[in-house]
Chains A and B, each alone.
Chain A
Amino acid sequence: MASPKVAVVGAGVIGLSTALCITETCPSCSVTVLSDQFSPNTTSDVAAGMLLPHTYPDTPIHRQKQWFRETFTYLFAISNSAEASEAGIHLVSGWQVFKSTPKEELPFWSDIVLGFRPMSEAELQKFPQHQFGQAFTTLKCDCPPYLLWLEKRLKATGTQMYTRKVADLWELHGEYDIVVNCAGMGAHQLVGDKQLFPVRGQVLKAHAPWVKHFIRDGDGLTYIYPGIHSVTLGGTREKGSWSLSPDPGTTRDIFDRCCSLEPSLQGAQDIEVKVGLRPSRQCVRVQREVLSQGGVKLPVVHNYGHGAGGFSVHRGTANEAAHLVGECISALQGSSSKAKL
């Protein structure tokens, strides 16, 4: 197989980073990205892009840690280069605070982020309703910049990108040798995965450039993430809700909760409301599959179901998916040489 044709379905952070990894590990591949949405209209564009892992109940911790470590290392290098501002990647320090001391005081990722330590009494005074906290420095990927930067890197490798709604993976058979499914929430319909469910998140993006630290309540519901041009205020975790319409009552509630953590936000300006559906699953599906229909085979690599943790593990899962694409290519080359006998 001289030049395997690979189609990547989905152009959020997972689709674009997976496509990029494939061009890196398989330079002879011809990669095409197909998506009904591109930045700034993907789920990734709504997310703050903080490197703060979500724990998947059914993925082994060592695997999640490996994904996070690879992602952090990759972005850390870019954050200190001349490309950082274009890529939207920057370091940010702050605090995760808990109303009552959590069972797990040291999360699995505490040795990957920078300077992780418990907060001092003096630091906790800033959060009178919270008993315990962790201070650390992590990375943030601002979108759209990060997605646009990935698109630019892809175009430089000759990757084509098309706006196209793929209703069925079999549509792509014939045109492409391997299909990579990074459809995020779209995988629910695209491959009929009933284990995939939306967790609706509403956020506000506000202009408050004096806010230089992140603040996250350990319950995961209230958070303040300062980006390059705006601060993301969140949020909600509404399991099973498919609604993409902003709710005004929720907006008020998010704003109030964030102001109680950071009173100076009362002076925030230019507030925009956004909604995204976290494509959630008990474990991220990074897996090879060979679809079969009427004697015809279609190799598929799945990379979806990252829920609340997409940015945190994106590069790690992209690497794994690219590796699986490599396996698909080997299998195709093996079977094509068998066919020659």
Chain B
Amino acid sequence: MRVAIIGAGVIGLSSALCIHEQFHGLVPSLELEVYADHFTPHTTSDGAAGLWQPYLSDHGNLQETLWNKETFDYLLGHLHSSAAKEMGLFLLSGYNLFTEPVPDPSWKNIVLGFRNLTPKELELFPGYSYGWFNTALMLEGRSYLPWLTNRLTERGVKFFHKKVETFQELFAQGVDVVLNCSGMRAGDLQPDPELQPGRGQIIKVLAPWVKHFIITHDLKSGIYKSPYIIPGSEFTVLGGIYQHGNWSEENSAEDHKSIWDSCCRLLPPLQKAKIVGEWSGLRPARPSVRLERESVRLGNLQAEVIHNYGHGGFGITIHWGCARAAARLFGSILQEKKQLARPPGPRL
């Protein structure tokens, strides 16, 4: 049973690991192969700061809230393991700031210690009159992806540095199931007008005195269009750009100025921070995550694709819940194939 995973970002690698963990014992012939044109550190997941935090509203998408919770709980369980440092996993507390009161988010009981900000805390952030404090998790892609790669390699999963042009080419090679975790480029494999880039740009600085994330919100503009500061283990990420429909992966000087000025206003000590890098990436945005099976008829064969893409700016936040859901879909495929594999006997 050959399974090909297209995409080696956080979604592709974690889905592969989840499937291998659950099924390699049950399916002795299981062979997993990862195909990608970009591997760590050149994937979208590597550029993300790595903070676990869903969007403010789930828009009634309870399924996604459950997947977010599953991911948080899974990561929290690994916090004290010896793998945590290698995974790039650690606790991080911080502030979400608003210019007016807002309803509590769907994830208030998922994170730790969620509470409103006190008046004294708000003094730190002139211009913001309301906010939250909570403890969440950081999962840095630059560490997590190599860790996933190592776990997969240990399990005999093979990696191919190749841009897959069509699902068909994999099936023609004898692959039985394809896991489509191609993120932003899913449209190249199968047109999906709902998938659009949510372009982001970030500045990396050295500011080791910053121990909290600070995320501001402008409800009129939308998510990620307001400055944010996220301290990692090696550098701090400054951001606040979300451009829907912009495919450019070039750093923009105008965006740089916007990020720098707004973040320094938000946290004046940043004026002394040393800039060590800049990056632009495309959030694979979609009204909802596409996580579903698709049967593809190829001659007299039925081939299966499991789609798992469109995680926007919350891929890391939701990845494990989605990986497990993808694994369940894979399990149902296996069940059906077993039934199909039983030869039709004579009707007595």
Contact = CB atoms under 8 A, between A and B. Distances in A.
A89 B121 CA distance: 16
Interface in B279-301: none
Given A117-B115, A210-B85, A81 B268 contact: yes
B133 interface: yes
Question: What class of interface size applies to chain A in its complex with B?
Answer: 35 or more
B3 to A, nearest CB: 34
Interface in B110-148: 112-113, 115, 117-118, 120-121, 124, 133, 135, 138
A211 B268 CA distance: 23
Interface string A185-221: 0000000000000000000000001111100000000
Contacts of A263: 80-82, 84
Interface string A135-154: 10100001000000000000
Contacts of B267: 80
Nearest to A79: B269
B234 interface: yes
B211 interface: yes
Interface string B197-208: 000000000011
B84 A228 contact: no
Given A210-B85, A264-B90, A120 B112 contact: yes
A85 B209 contact: yes
B120 A80 contact: no
A81 B272 CA distance: 10
Given A85-B272, A263-B84, A119 B113 contact: yes
A123 interface: yes
- Could you tell me the dominant secondary structure of chain B's interface residues? mixed
Contacts of B133: 115, 137
B85 A267 contact: yes
A122 B115 CA distance: 14
Interface string B83-107: 0110010111100000000000000
Interface residues of B, number: 37
A91 B269 contact: no
A90 interface: yes
B90 A212 contact: yes
Contact of A123 (B85, B112, B117, B210): B112
Nearest to A89: B209
Interface string B166-205: 0000000000000000000000000000000000000000
A122 B136 CA distance: 12
A86 B272 contact: yes
- Could you tell me the dominant secondary structure of chain A's interface residues? mixed
Nearest to A125: B76
A83 B270 CA distance: 10
Contact of A114 (B113, B121, B211): B121
A38 to B, nearest CB: 23
B18 interface: no
For A84, A120, A142, A263, which residue has the most chain B Cβ atoms within 10 angstroms? A84
A287 interface: no
Contacts of A228: 208-209
A209 B121 contact: no
Given A114-B118, A263-B82, A264-B79, 13 more contacts: A82-B272, A85-B207, A85-B209, A90-B210, A120-B112, A120-B113, A123-B113, A137-B121, A212-B90, A212-B212, A213-B135, A229-B208, A264-B85
Interface of B: 79-82, 84-85, 88, 90-93, 112-113, 115, 117-118, 120-121, 124, 133, 135, 138, 207-212, 231, 233-234, 267-269, 271-273
The 10 residue pairs across chains A and B that have the minimum distance between CB atoms: A84-B269, A90-B209, A267-B85, A210-B90, A210-B233, A263-B80, A212-B211, A85-B272, A82-B271, A228-B209
20 contacts: A79-B269, A82-B268, A84-B209, A84-B268, A84-B269, A85-B269, A90-B210, A92-B211, A93-B135, A93-B211, A114-B120, A115-B118, A120-B112, A210-B90, A210-B233, A212-B212, A213-B135, A228-B208, A228-B209, A267-B85
Interface of A: 79-86, 88-93, 114-115, 117, 119-120, 122-123, 126, 135, 137, 142, 209-213, 226, 228-229, 263-264, 266-267
